[in-house]
């Protein structure tokens, strides 16, 4: 399925992304890698150990700037717009053989980055994609932020009341209402830009649904890799009490619960994500 409703709509969304990156990251290394899922846009900033950031549904590098900037203070961080999500990568969505196709794609992305091992930070959908990778020495650890892939998303009446009108006829007010179901009541530093972006997305793109939990044999393959789950105390989609047990039993991973945060944890508490990534880097260094 094509993500975009029309070519003019695709251009509008991509022009917005380019303008945001030009404004906030003018000196970044921006390039497009040829992959099995189509052209994949990479943005790299900072120096230090390699980090790969995979954003969530409807988000990309241009909507992940607070976290990118904070990670780049200590790491060389490459952010990828996921193919099939609105942004600067290919618009064709992966609808079949999800694990194997994302596994091949991640192998290609990691090869384009080079300098293994890489720490992968996956946010929501990006975490599910990260878990599809092939475990091995090229990946030094996983930080799974409000992750999809472990359990199904919980969708309550309040979420439906916010998301359905947003999908049917998006306005800034409806985008603001949707974001309010995601932020857990915490302050979002880049809220105005997220509202602007989320008001545009349904007009020009088809939003994807949360992915199903990944097969157990995929998840248990990560037991020998340093892995941490980061959950928001007030996340309505993936509450921490639903993540802790599968993270421990399937991944052998601990869960860090960020007080006061919701599903937009990477936007409201990026410092908590950076702290977990730094801990993972130290753990990888200490591994014989």
Task: Give a yes or no: residue 246 inside a domain.
Answer: yes
What CATH number is attached to the domain comprising 243?
A: 3.40.50.1820
Task: Give a yes or no: residue 131 inside a domain.
Answer: yes
Task: Give a yes or no: residue 194 inside a domain.
Answer: no
For residues 51 and 16, the answer to whether their CB atoms sit within 8 Å is: no
Note down pLDDT in tens along the chain; length 288 residues. Answer: 789 999 999 999 999 999 999 999 999 999 999 999 999 999 999 999 999 999 999 999 999 999 999 999 999 999 999 999 999 999 988 888 999 999 999 999 999 998 779 999 999 999 999 999 999 999 999 999 999 999 999 999 999 999 999 999 999 999 999 999 999 999 998 899 999 999 999 999 998 888 899 999 999 999 999 999 999 999 999 999 999 999 999 999 999 999 999 999 999 999 999 999 999 998 776 654
d(CA 65, CA 73): 13
Q: Following DSSP, what letter does each residue of 159-200 receive, concatenated?
A: HHHHHHHHHHS--HHHHHHHHHHHSTT---TTHHHHHHHHHH
Task: Give a yes or no: residue 278 inside a domain.
Answer: yes
Domain count, the chain: 1
Pairing of strands 40-45, 29-33: antiparallel
Task: Give a yes or no: residue 201 inside a domain.
Answer: no
Name the residue range of residue 16's domain.
Answer: 7-152+210-286
Task: Give a yes or no: residue 205 inside a domain.
Answer: no
pTM score, whole prediction: 0.96
Task: Give a yes or no: residue 187 inside a domain.
Answer: no
Task: Give a yes or no: residue 165 inside a domain.
Answer: no
β-bridge partners, 141: 119
Taking alpha carbons only, the member of 151, 285, 155 closest to residue 219 is 151
């Amino acid at each position: 399925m094509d993500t975009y409703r029309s070519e003019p709509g695709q251009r509008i969304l991509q022009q917005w992304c380019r303008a945001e990156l030009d404004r906030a990251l003018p000196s970044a290394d921006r390039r497009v890698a040829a992959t099995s899922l189509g052209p994949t846009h990479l943005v790299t900033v900072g120096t230090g150990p390699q980090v790969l950031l995979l954003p969530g549904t409807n988000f990309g590098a241009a909507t992940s700037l607070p976290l990118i900037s904070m990670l780049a203070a200590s790491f060389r961080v490459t952010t990828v717009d996921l193919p099939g999500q609105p942004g600067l990568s290919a618009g064709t969505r992966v609808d079949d053989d999800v694990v194997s196709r994302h596994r091949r794609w991640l192998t290609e992305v990691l090869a384009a980055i080079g300098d293994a091992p890489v720490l992968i930070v996956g946010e929501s959908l990006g975490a599910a994609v990260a878990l599809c990778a092939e475990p091995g020495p090229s990946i030094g650890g996983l930080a799974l932020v409000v992750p999809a892939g472990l359990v199904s998303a919980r969708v309550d009446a309040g979420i439906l009341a916010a998301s359905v009108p947003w999908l049917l006829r998006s306005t800034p007010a409806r985008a603001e209402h949707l974001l309010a179901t995601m932020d857990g009541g915490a302050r979002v530093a880049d809220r105005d830009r997220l509202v602007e972006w989320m008001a545009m997305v349904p007009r020009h793109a088809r939003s994807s649904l949360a992915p199903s939990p990944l097969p157990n044999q995929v998840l248990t393959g990560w037991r020998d890799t340093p892995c941490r789950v980061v959950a928001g105390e007030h996340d309505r989609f993936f509450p921490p009490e639903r993540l802790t047990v599968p993270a421990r039993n399937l991944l052998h991973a601990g869960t860090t619960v960020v007080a006061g945060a919701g599903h937009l944890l990477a936007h409201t508490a990026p410092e908590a994500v950076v702290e977990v990534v730094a801990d993972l880097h130290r753990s990888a260094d200490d591994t014989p």
